[in-house]
Amino acid sequence: MNRPIRNIAVACLVLFLALIINANYVQFVEADSLNSKNGNRRVINEEFSRDRGSILVDGKPVAESVKSKDEYKFQRKYPDAELYAPLTGYFSYIFGRSAVESTQNDVLSGSDDRLFVNRVVDLVSNKQPKGGSVELTIDPLAQKAASEGLERLGDETKGAVAAIDPRTGAVLAMVTQPSYDPNQLASHDFDKVQAAWKQLTGDADQPMTNRSTESTLPPGSTFKLITAAAALENGVVNNIDDKVKAGSTLKFPGYGYTLPNENGGNCGGNEITFERALNVSCNVAFGGLALEIGQEKLAAQAAKFGFGTDPISGLAASPSRFTTPDTTLEPPQLGQSGIGQYDVAATPLQMAMVAAGIANDGNVMKPYVIDTVRAPNLRVLDKTQPERLSEAVSSTTARKLREMMVSTVTQGTATSAQIPGVEVGAKTGTAQSTPDRPPYAWFVSYAKDGDKEVAVAVLVESSDTARDEIAGGRLAGPIAKSVMQAVLGS
Amino acid sequence: MTTPVWVPRKRRGAELFLTFLAVFIGIAAYASVGLGAEGRIPADTYKLGGALIVVAIATHLIVRRVAPYADPVLLPLVIALNGLGLAMIYRLDLGRQQIDPDRAAFANSQLVWTAVGIAAFAGILIAVRDHRRLQTLTYTFGAAAIGLLILPLIPGVGQTINGARIWVVLFGFSFQPGEAAKVCLAIFFAGYLVVKRDALALAGRRIIGIDLPRGRDLGPILACWLISVGILVFQRDLGSSLLFFGLFVVMLYVATERPGWIVVGGLLFGAGAYFGYAAFGHVRVRFDAWLDPFGDPDRNGQVINGLFGLAHGGILGQGLGQGSPQLTPYSFSDFIAASMGEELGLTGLMAILLIYGLIVERGLRIALTCRDAFGKLLAAGLAFSFALQVFVVVGGVTRLIPLTGLTTPFMAQGGSSVVMNWAIIGLLLRISDQTRRPAPEISTFDSNEETQVVKMS
């Protein structure tokens, strides 16, 4: 009977080999795909139990993990929660993560490939793996100034501020109001998290939307900067002293519609200088210029400033648009588009990029919020290198546009942003949407003082201010000014 | 002239050394569970460890006394598995009670059952001095196997737990008689086949190139097996039916030395599996869960969680007490292999599989070297059923084959399983002791010629 027994021994060997090979397959080959499957509580738990890295602003944490006594070992905390929520995002057991918590998750959780050596060292020394930290580009003073500026308009105010360094694209301030408290979503009391989530997502004011990158609204007269740029670039107007058509209304032959000026006034004559037209935000002049430039060239100019692209990495963002793709605009629509109405929609960040491009000699830099990424031992793993998005206009055109923006501050609609002894250029905007809601107040500006530069866009969607008081210069201008002052340190 | 006699070495010293190693694995596992889950070594580690050492030494001394030539490797292997299993069950108690403090703890009862198992092991070694005596009770064991299998079907005694009616509750203790039936059946098969093997192999008619045994030779064993499997199918115990079928076919093959039995068995298994798939909803569910567990994550939560646990463990494991095996339903019994894979990693799981493999290898080696046909058959049957059981349960948990309910020997929580597996090891050691023992000295007639030859003259 020994022969069958030997055969059985071989059969048993095959069975055990099959088990061992299969175990290798599941635990080694298939492990990664299993770990990334939805509903894998082990991976969520593990991530939650890890000493997650901090998100820092000027060396101080705006998101950090502190030890907790429950089963998850660590609790995510957000000091200054509402101020930095649009940047940090939330880190929730049930609802996942957003913004920098999401895009930098590999580093923060410590699973990034660049932290491989750290993980091995931790494994050998039997230490809990620790995440790396992320330093944001935000200037805390500017962030604070922007937030306080919006708050001064009242609790009901909805709006956003985006400020960037024109030379690098580094985001210096990014504020949205109303904001939310990510601590509520990071709580380990899941019933409370559920309730908070329900309340936040059900809120008509959408506090979890980052208005400066996600909400696209008609930019109104601030879009005239782009129309002006296109006019100069395409030779429609050559100098800022050239005369352009003005008056009180723009007629479109063959159409019943006429384009009026804001408040129905005259721009100061039937022919004024190009510079003056921007200073007083003359709709008739820029509507007419748009017709002369043509849809194609105007759209191309907007695209060069970043319209139609996802402008920022590391945050959720909506692309701004000049018009819906594949649409041919009728002359009245093109005229309206030239002054930032009709179908034009932009985010505050996009408008800040326009001002920044003009301030930076026509070069638009790609905005970014992640300055440096560090390992747990503070070794720098990555430092964002500024990257040029495009050359929007020539440096000559940029210089002319700056001159026009500066004179708008000194003698035009944007006087509220004057800072003594500092070069400040700006453009206001009061955009109409539907008749039943108040217009949006915009303010797009830049400032240069010595080795410091900043470009700011402010949007006030609604506030406690009376309707006829709403104007970009009055409402949004002071906020932009305070942000610029904070950055310049003056 | 006397030829030099080969005397096998007893190797009891080696066994003692390996036993200490195995006990150390168990104690170290227990301590690291406490360290991993609660940050400190459990306070009763020294007490428990001391008790374990005492029990191990006592077991070793019994073997040394009553089975001095027994295989020296089996006992340490089993102690290592049992210790690891206990530590893991304790770890899962902690984990499950972290979720819900009211959940039952199993570690203590498992410890008691382990003690009962070791007692059964020692009892068999002491009571059964020669395994060939079991052969005289062939039909008794056959009847006992069927009786044990029927027990759970008796109203009032049997109990349905999780859809399978394989439990007996007596005096507050629940027990799976199927585990004991397996051993009884193996003894019956071995005893019967030893007697009938020549008739089965040679007598009979040849139909279409196949030698069919006579009905009176195959009949009783076929009947006994059919009844067993019939009962198990009725009780919805898929794993055990498969196990009994495999045991039957392989022992038939070993006894008759005819590979045709394997072929016939394989075909029958295929037909049975197809019938089961077509006729029983619960078989279909298992089969579908095997092919595509993520197709219905709610229903296949257990299999999916087991896979998640294994993946979470990766190559080196989370460390004892530091994974989350408690998230998997029945992580302490059916799915303890997945729990081991999660906390000890691929490395640990492979080590455990190797230990199982070594146990099977030692069992088959005993069968090979055994001098009597009954012992040979019994050892081969027990070793193979052990291998098959490990394959079915670990293969089911790791999605190599569809999941069927069987216990992981020596590790899974469950009293009957632990006790009967210790009993199996007792039987194997008994057979190996007989096998390796030097043949009794036969007094030779020529040793003292003077007294032998009487001169008549």
pLDDT value at B205 more than 80: no
Q: What is the pLDDT of residue A156?
A: 83
| B454 vs A335: which has the higher pLDDT | A335
| B400 neighbourhood in chain A, CB within 8 Å | 18-19, 22
Nearest to A27 among B313, B324, B395 (CB): B313
Average pLDDT, chain A: 89
What pLDDT, in 10s, does the model give residues A42-73? 888 888 888 899 999 999 999 999 988 877 88
- In 3D space, the residue among A95, A119, A265 whose CA is nearest the CA of residue A186 turns out to be A95
pLDDT value at A245 more than 80: yes
Distances in Å between the Cα of B447 and the Cα atoms of A289, B3, B441, B451 are 133, 13, 13, 9
Query: Does the beta-carbon distance from B311 to A35 stay under 8 Å?
Result: yes
The enclosing domain of A276 has a CATH number of 3.40.710.10
The residue of chain B with its CA nearest to that of A126 is: B319
Give yes or no for B295 touching A (CB within 8 A): no
Q: List all residues 6 or more positions away from A257 whose beta carbon is below 8 Å from its beta carbon.
A: A332
For the ranges A223-232, A362-371, B8-17, B161-170, which has the lowest average pLDDT? Answer: B161-170
Query: Does the beta-carbon distance from B341 to A27 stay under 8 Å?
Result: yes
**Paired tokens of B32:** 């690291």
Chain B residues 74-133 within an 8 A CB cutoff of chain A: 98
The alpha-carbon gap from A23 to the nearest alpha carbon of chain B, in Å, equals: 7
pLDDT value at B351 more than 60: yes
Question: What is the ipTM metric for this complex?
Answer: 0.92
pLDDT value at B71 more than 70: yes
| A45 neighbourhood in chain B, CB within 8 Å | 324
Share of chain A above pLDDT 70, in %: 96
Give yes or no for B363 touching A (CB within 8 A): no
Give yes or no for B314 touching A (CB within 8 A): yes
Share of chain B above pLDDT 70, in %: 90
The residue of chain B with its CA nearest to that of A15 is: B391
Under the banding of pLDDT at 50, 70 and 90, the label for residue B262 is confident
Q: What is the pLDDT of residue A490?
A: 66
Residue A311 lies in a domain: yes
- In 3D space, the residue among A406, A277, A408, A409 whose CA is nearest the CA of residue A339 turns out to be A277
Residue B114 lies in a domain: yes
| B377 neighbourhood in chain A, CB within 8 Å | 1
Q: What is the pLDDT of residue B274?
A: 87
Nearest to A27 among B346, B354, B367 (CB): B346
Give yes or no for B372 touching A (CB within 8 A): no
What pLDDT, in 10s, does the model give residues A101-159? 988 988 898 877 777 777 777 766 666 678 889 999 999 999 999 999 999 888 888 99
Chain A interface, best mutation among B35, B100, B252, B257, by max A CB count within 10 A: B257
Residue B6 lies in a domain: no
CB atoms within 10 A of CB A69: 7
The residue of chain A with its CA nearest to that of B261 is: A4
The residue of chain A with its CA nearest to that of B356 is: A16
Options A221, A445, A463, A482, the catalytic residue:
A221
Dihedral sign (CA A220, A140, A406, A402):
negative
Distances in Å between the Cα of A23 and the Cα atoms of A34, A112, B334 are 14, 26, 17
Domain coverage including residue B357: 12-436
The residue of chain B with its CA nearest to that of A45 is: B324
CA distance A445 to A466: 24
Query: Does the beta-carbon distance from A42 to B312 stay under 8 Å?
Result: yes
- In 3D space, the residue among B12, B31, B118, B24 whose CA is nearest the CA of residue B80 turns out to be B24
Helices (H), A305-363: 331-338, 348-359
Q: List all residues 6 or more positions away from B143 whose beta carbon is below 8 Å from its beta carbon.
A: none
Provide the domain count of chain A.
Answer: 1
* pTM beyond 0.95, yes or no: no
Residue A434 lies in a domain: yes
Q: What is the pLDDT of residue B263?
A: 84
Query: Does the beta-carbon distance from B314 to A123 stay under 8 Å?
Result: no
Residue A140 lies in a domain: no
Q: What is the pLDDT of residue B443?
A: 53
Residue A55 Cα to chain centre, angstroms:
17
The alpha-carbon gap from A192 to the nearest alpha carbon of chain B, in Å, equals: 19
Query: Does the beta-carbon distance from A31 to B250 stay under 8 Å?
Result: no
Give yes or no for A28 touching B (CB within 8 A): yes
Query: Does the beta-carbon distance from B311 to A30 stay under 8 Å?
Result: yes
Q: What is the pLDDT of residue A130?
A: 80
The residue of chain A with its CA nearest to that of B354 is: A16
Distances in Å between the Cα of A242 and the Cα atoms of A239, A282, A402, B11, B326 are 5, 15, 16, 110, 79
| A43 neighbourhood in chain B, CB within 8 Å | 308, 312
pLDDT value at B106 more than 70: yes
Residue B441 lies in a domain: no
Q: What mean pLDDT is predicted for residues B214-228?
A: 74
Provide the domain count of chain B.
Answer: 1
Q: Is residue A54 annotated as a catalytic residue, yes or no?
A: no
Residue A125 Cα to chain centre, angstroms:
42
Q: Is B421 helix (H, G, I), strand (E, B) or coil?
A: helix
Under the banding of pLDDT at 50, 70 and 90, the label for residue B283 is confident
Question: A102 exposed, middle or buried (CB, 10 Å; 0-12, 13-18, 19+)?
Answer: middle
Q: What is the pLDDT of residue A209?
A: 92
Residue A452 lies in a domain: yes
Domain coverage including residue A326: 216-372+384-488
